[in-house]
Structure formats: structure tokens, C-alpha cells
Amino acid sequence: MSFWNPYKWRTAVAWVNPSAQAEDHQTDEGKIKTPAFVETAAADGWLLLEEEFGLVQYGESSAGREIVKKIGSERNGNGVGLCLTKELETMDWKEMLSALPEDLDLFRQQHPLDPHKPNYSPLLPEALRPYPSFEGWYVRVSDPSNGLSIALIMATNYVTDESQITLLFSPASSVDYHGNEDAKDDGDAVKSGYTYAVVVRTKDARIVEVTEPQEEGRDNLGLEPRGFEWIANGIGALKVKPHSINVDFMVQGYRFKANLTKEVLWDVHNSENGPEGWARYLTIIPTHWYVYSLGSTVEYSFTNLEKGIDNQGAGWGHVEKNWGEAFPAGHVWTQGMSPANTSQVVCAGASLKIPGQKFETPYIFILGYRSISQTLDFHTNDLGTIFKDIQFSPLESRFSVTAIGLSHSIELTAYAPFDSFSDAILAPVSKVDWKPACRESFLATIEVKVYEHSAWGVIGQKLVERQTFENAALEFGEDLFTNSMNRIDGENQVGK
């Protein structure tokens, strides 16, 4: 039984029966075979979480009985699971999600860039409450005229009601900022060749919905952001509305203002479609990832008068978002835009720990590449897609991977000077703690080679495009750095 196949599902609530044998059951669609641990009951239209993946494990609990009551059944069970059958037609998510109970509205249709209201429903296992437990937006601006890169991470931990704003920047490659006369070159000066990270945390942040007026007769739900403001009092605000994003933050004396328009969507036909596709609806994924724009048009200013920084200019902007239960382990991420914004690339990979389970998934990758002649997406869970030759070298600040699809392949290599990486960036890696999660460099280079081929990469491979992205971003999970250092220390100890 698979929870991942993109088909329309008929659902039925089921009671756990550990002593039961797998058997056929008669339904309106014909016979279906249920797993050995469930026996089905009629409750079409409900979507609960799959017992096979350990997401619903009520056992003999009052929570299980409450769900039984909610579906209008008089039968007592000793747990709740899920039985699925597959109809050979394309899934209609809107139709299915509209039938969900209010307590599971975290699955309802909304634009992924908009805030996800934390869900505390008792229908969710306690380990998943609230869901999402964290949410964060990421805006990166690159000015190719001078090599300046700036990014903002605006994140909230809904469990602790804490929010954090992280400002990352790599100064223009031709400038060292020495600040006032009292600044010391070796301490207070802001120098090129490094990615700085400055942070402020607050409990005084809130989200205000700002729904834009819709055109008469048009249903905007899910097609584009409805609009909101993420406001941290005394620090700044992120303002989002359809086709416009504005940021204005002051973090430890650094003022960053930017207005992003003319977004380059992941899917030019529908802005709600991001890297995950339909998988963004699955709560089983501990971290969701959505890319809103691969290369917006940007006007910005970046100042710190005490440091002698006063930049105003234009460039390109990348906008994305994460939400879920926990930040991923061992992740890598890289992103770049060409100087004229005619090409963009983004790639991410991580090992995900499934909630309620002790194991972690193998590495899951997503890669998107856009150019004048190519629009290519690769996902680990796509039929016929393979990621191979995966190499992580955090201490050498290098990452490479080859993605093979049915008609195209991409070889990607990203690297940066080791000394250009930021200090550790904090994130809610657990539900209560902000811990070191990753390090970023905005001085990376990404090399991309695109091949056309037939017969799944085996016959007729031909190089059709080559692209190099300078002043790109490269990020390694903090645990990758730590594991690499521990391995070297262990080797040194053995060698003594």
C-alpha cells in the first residue's frame, strides 16, 4: 500500500486488529485487500493518517474512541488506521480537500506562500501537534553589478511563540567597509570575501492577513497569495500580496529594504505549484519546501551608517519558504541566478526523519533549472528519475550531483571558499530549541551541464547547454560540518 502515488483515493476509517489476517472486503468498487492489522468500516470522504507509517497510533485510547464518535459510528475499536483503494484517474485535490473535517483543515487548499495556521487538533498524534510547529520565509537579493548579496530569514516557532530574523550578507566584492574612525580593521571592519550573519529574536511578532480584493467572478483561492504581513515590532515587516513582496528590517544596526516584483514562478502557469508538487499536502513530511520566485526584479537599499555602508541599487531576488515539524538533517542547498536573470538554478537534498518512526529516509533531492531554451525539474520520487554521483564535501565546501531523467540529465557542481561561509544559522531543529542548523556562503560558483539523450540516459547523450552561476548561494547543514570534523578528529586520533 502506497501513500505517495498521485491517484484519486477512496478512503475508509479502519480499526486496528493485530490478530486479523489480510483478507478481501467487498466495496462498491469491488473487492479490496486490507492489511492484516485493519478491518474496514464505511466512512468514505474522510482522510486520516496511515497506520502503516506510524502516524496514527492511538491504541486503546480515548482519542481513538473520540474519532470513532466523530464519524458517526457506534462500533468500539482499539485504534484507528487507514485503508486506501486506488481509482485510475487523476487526483482532484480541491474536490477531496473540501470534504475534510474542520479539525484537519491543515490539509485544505491555500497558497503555500501564505501563513499556515498552526493546528492543535486532537485528531493529530500528539507528536505532530501543533502542525506546523515552525514556519519561515527566505528572501535573497543579488546585485550582479557589484557582487553584493543580501538575504533575510524570517521564522516563527509556534510551540515557543518565538520568532527570529536573520540577516545574511556578503559585501560588494570590490569594497571593504571600515566604519567610523574608532573602528578597528581586525574587528569592526566589514570586509568582502565573507558571508555575515546577524540575528535578533523576539516574542513580539505577529501575522496580519491582508486579503487583496479579487476580480469580480474570480476565485483566487490557491492561485496566488492572498496577502499577509509578518510584523516584528520594533524590527521590521515582511509584506506579501499578489505579485509584490516588500521587506524592511533593522537588525543590529543594518537596515535592509527591498521591493520585489515580476516574479519568475517555478510553474509559469500556476504560482501555487512549487518543487514538491502534490506532496506538499502530506503531513508525514517533517519539512516542506516551496519556491515562489526564482528571479524577481528587485530594487533595494542596504545601509549601516556606523559601518560606513550605504548601498542602493537593483538586482534579482529569490523567494522561498519552509514549514513543518522540524528542520531537515544533513541537508544541502544551492541557488543561483545569471547576471541578466535569463537562467536560474536551485537544488536541495536532505534525509528526512519520519514523525513517529526511528528511521530516516535515504537522501531525497529536488533540482530545478531554467534558461531561455530549457525548463527542467527532477524529483527523487518521479518515476524514471535517478540522482547519482552524490558527493558532499563540507570541509572542502563542495557539492556535486547528477540528475538523470527520461529525456535530459544535469550535472551540477557547487563550490565556495571555505572561509566565505557564515557562522552557524539557528533554526528550530526541534520543537522547543533554536539550534545551529546550517551555514551559508554567497560567494559560491555553480556549474551546470545539461544533456539531451534517449533511452533514459544510456543512448545518444549530447551536451546541449552549459551555464556557470557566480555569486551564488551554497548551504550545508550544520550536522554535515560537525560529522566531517568528528571524522577527521577520529582519524587523527587513530594515526597517533
Please give the grid coordinates belonging to residue 475: 548551504
Predicted local confidence at residue 460, as pLDDT: 78
Distance CA 124, CA 63 (A): 10
Instruction: Please say whether the beta carbons of 62 and 122 come within 8 A.
Output: no
Same domain, 160 and 84: no
Predicted local confidence at residue 51, as pLDDT: 32
- Per-position DSSP letters for 456-480, written without gaps between them: TTTEEEEEEEEEEEEEEEEEEEHHH
Over its length of 496 residues, how does the chain's per-residue pLDDT go in tens digits? 222 222 222 233 333 333 334 444 444 444 433 333 333 332 322 223 333 333 332 333 333 334 333 333 333 333 333 333 233 233 343 444 444 444 444 445 578 999 988 888 776 677 777 888 899 999 999 999 999 999 999 999 998 999 999 999 999 877 777 665 444 454 678 989 999 999 999 999 999 987 655 544 444 445 789 899 999 999 999 999 999 999 999 999 999 999 999 999 999 988 889 998 777 777 667 889 999 999 999 999 999 999 999 999 999 999 999 998 888 868 999 999 999 999 999 999 998 776 555 667 788 999 999 999 999 999 998 888 999 999 989 899 999 999 999 899 999 999 999 999 999 999 888 777 888 999 999 999 999 999 999 866 667 789 999 999 999 999 999 988 887 766 654 444 445 5
- Per-position DSSP letters for 171-215, written without gaps between them: --TT--B--STT--TTTT-B-SSS-EEEEEEES-EEEEE-PPPPP
Distance CA 157, CA 145 (A): 36
Is the link from the previous residue into 132 a cis peptide, with omega within 30 of 0? Answer: yes
Predicted local confidence at residue 94, as pLDDT: 42
Q: Which of 59, 91, 123 is the last residue of a domain?
A: 91
Please give the grid coordinates belonging to residue 432: 522547543
Same domain, 30 and 141: no
Q: How far from each other are the two terminal CA atoms of the chain, in whole angstroms?
A: 52
Same domain, 268 and 320: yes
Same domain, 203 and 314: yes
Counting the structural domains of the chain, the total is 2
Same domain, 442 and 366: yes
CB-based burial label for 225 (10 Å; 0-12, 13-18, 19+): buried
Residue 262 domain-assigned? yes
Same domain, 79 and 22: yes
Residue 39 domain-assigned? yes
CB-based burial label for 58 (10 Å; 0-12, 13-18, 19+): buried
Instruction: Please say whether the beta carbons of 224 and 111 come within 8 A.
Output: yes
Residue 376 domain-assigned? yes
Residue 35 domain-assigned? yes
DSSP state of 5: S
Same domain, 329 and 255: yes
Predicted local confidence at residue 105, as pLDDT: 47
Residue 127 domain-assigned? no
Residue 104 domain-assigned? no
Picking from 236, 153, 148, the residue whose alpha carbon sits closest to that of residue 195 is 148
Predicted local confidence at residue 495, as pLDDT: 53
E strand or H helix that includes residue 376: strand 375-379
Instruction: Please say whether the beta carbons of 261 and 239 come within 8 A.
Output: no
Calculate ∠ Cα 246-189-151, nearest 5°.
20
Same domain, 28 and 174: no
Same domain, 148 and 79: no
Please give the grid coordinates belonging to residue 419: 572561509
If you count DSSP H runs as helices and E runs as strands, how many of each does the chain have, helices first?
A: 3, 26
Strands ordered across the beta sheet of 38-40: 38-40, 7-16, 81-90
DSSP state of 360: B
Residue 96 domain-assigned? no
Same domain, 71 and 180: no
Same domain, 173 and 72: no
Distance CA 86, CA 402 (A): 33
Same domain, 181 and 84: no
Predicted local confidence at residue 363, as pLDDT: 87
Predicted local confidence at residue 100, as pLDDT: 44
The domain in which residue 358 lies consists of 134-489
Residue 102 domain-assigned? no
